[in-house]
């Protein structure tokens, strides 16, 4: 795999250029995301930039399968993963165009998760260091659904979801390359390349948004790569890698769901009560919010790489205090700004 690095670097650059070209084309198409009370922007902005990420990923994967199929791995799970992620992206893009009810998107996510599990890909219990009282297939489906929706929910500030995904992809791709994970390495390489082509159009000032096609595709693929990572050989508790990388995203979503349930608010109703949204409403710069979440992702990755094997679960606990400090700070800012009901 090391000998192929120049080829892969060239492929990544090409994928980034393809993504950027498609993103520019989507700006011209003008599928508009119009402002409403629960969104951060105050003017219409094109959406659908995630199409560039998806197509760059698919074209790169097609080339790798044509040039070196054995290096990618064998078995039914790999085409199932790619096919399911494309299915999620197509449904999400149609939702961007038609604004379908949430249940339609959720049904597509369930189908995609079931396809992945049916192909034989499930979390490895020893990779997560968890007791086996939860069936692997059920844990896999729940994990995929939660992460897919978490990345969709968090995609409300320029560069947040896309930047976190890019950082996660770099960490997982590098670790997979060092431990013989051909598919995980290739998928992360191309996902990161597609995002690198998209980000300059979205951060710090947005000329286009990813849309659901981008956020759901990224979320689904990250969730699946987390499952793949849990099975990497020679790596202690590899299933903890993706939760650490996504600690900021997962904490925000979990905190928001619990807070809304405690307040007896409908958890499925659209709202603007996520921590990152409340911080923005309370006057925190969206650039600061985004960079903070990038820092959370990088911190989680560094914890995984530097923690002793026997202390990896402690490393997961060390990822929590920064989130608690962030939640406390946002709560204080919201109170000072006179924000009463967060939703």
Cis-peptide, bond into residue 127, ω within 30° of zero: no
Question: Can you give the residue range of the structural domain that contains 136?
Answer: 2-243
Q: Which run of H or of E encompasses 32? A: strand 32-33
Q: What is the pLDDT of residues 52-93, one digit of tens each?
A: 999 999 999 988 877 766 556 656 688 899 999 999 999 999
For residue 80, CA distances in Å to 76, 121, 175, 228, 254 come to 6, 9, 23, 13, 29
314 is a domain residue? no
| Gap between the Cα atoms of 223 and 204, Å rounded | 26
Q: Please, are residues 213 and 48 in contact by the beta-carbon 8 Å criterion?
A: yes
Average pLDDT along the chain: 87
Q: Tell how far CA 245 is from the center of its chain.
A: 10
175 is a domain residue? yes
Give the chain's residues under pLDDT 70: 1-7, 35-42, 68-76, 124-133, 267-268, 310, 343
pLDDT at 2: 47
265 is a domain residue? no
Q: What is the pLDDT of residues 281-318, one digit of tens each?
A: 999 999 999 999 999 999 999 999 988 776 777 777 88
pLDDT at 38: 62
305 is a domain residue? no
For residue 23, CA distances in Å to 85, 190, 214, 236 come to 19, 16, 11, 39
Q: Which residues contact 334 (CB under 8 A, 6 or more apart)?
A: 278, 281, 282, 342
180 is a domain residue? yes
135 is a domain residue? yes
340 is a domain residue? no
289 is a domain residue? no
| Gap between the Cα atoms of 141 and 146, Å rounded | 9
Q: How far apart are the first and last CA of the chain?
A: 49
Q: Please, are residues 166 and 192 in contact by the beta-carbon 8 Å criterion?
A: yes
Tell me the sheet residues that pair with 32.
46
Overall domain count for the chain: 1
pLDDT at 215: 95
Quick one: which of 105, 112, 125, 109 has its CA closest to 81? 112
CA atoms within 13 A on the CB side of 140: 28
């Amino acid at each position: 795999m090391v000998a192929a690095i120049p080829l892969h670097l060239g492929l990544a650059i090409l994928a980034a250029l393809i993504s950027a070209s498609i993103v520019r084309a989507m700006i011209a198409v003008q599928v508009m995301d119009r402002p409403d009370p629960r969104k951060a922007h105050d003017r219409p902005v094109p959406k659908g930039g995630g199409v560039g990420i998806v197509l760059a990923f698919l074209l790169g994967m097609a080339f790798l399968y044509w040039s070196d199929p054995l290096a990618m791995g064998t078995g039914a799970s790999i085409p199932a993963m790619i096919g399911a992620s494309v299915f999620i992206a197509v449904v999400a893009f149609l939702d961007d165009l038609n604004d379908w009810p949430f249940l339609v998107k959720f049904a597509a996510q369930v189908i995609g998760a079931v396809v992945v599990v049916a192909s034989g890909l499930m979390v490895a219990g020893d990779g997560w260091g968890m007791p086996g009282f939860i069936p692997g297939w059920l844990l896999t489906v729940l994990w995929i659904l939660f992460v897919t929706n978490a990345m969709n929910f968090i995609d409300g500030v320029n560069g947040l979801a896309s930047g976190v995904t890019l950082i996660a992809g770099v960490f997982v791709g590098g670790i997979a390359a060092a431990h013989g994970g051909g598919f995980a390495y290739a998928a992360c390489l191309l996902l990161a390349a597609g995002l690198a082509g998209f980000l300059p159009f979205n951060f710090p000032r947005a000329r286009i948004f990813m849309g659901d096609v981008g956020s759901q595709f990224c979320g689904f693929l990250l969730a699946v790569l987390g499952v793949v990572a849990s099975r990497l050989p020679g790596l202690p508790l590899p299933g903890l890698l993706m939760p650490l990388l996504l600690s900021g995203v997962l904490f925000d979503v979990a905190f928001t769901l619990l807070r809304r349930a405690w307040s007896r608010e409908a958890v499925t109703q659209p709202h603007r009560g996520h921590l990152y949204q409340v911080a923005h409403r309370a006057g925190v710069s969206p650039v600061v919010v985004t960079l903070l979440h990038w820092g959370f992702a990088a911190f989680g990755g560094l914890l995984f790489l530097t923690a002793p094997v026997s202390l990896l679960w402690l490393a997961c606990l060390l990822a929590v205090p920064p989130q608690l400090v962030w939640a406390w700070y946002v709560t204080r800012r919201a109170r000072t700004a006179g924000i009463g009901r967060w939703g």
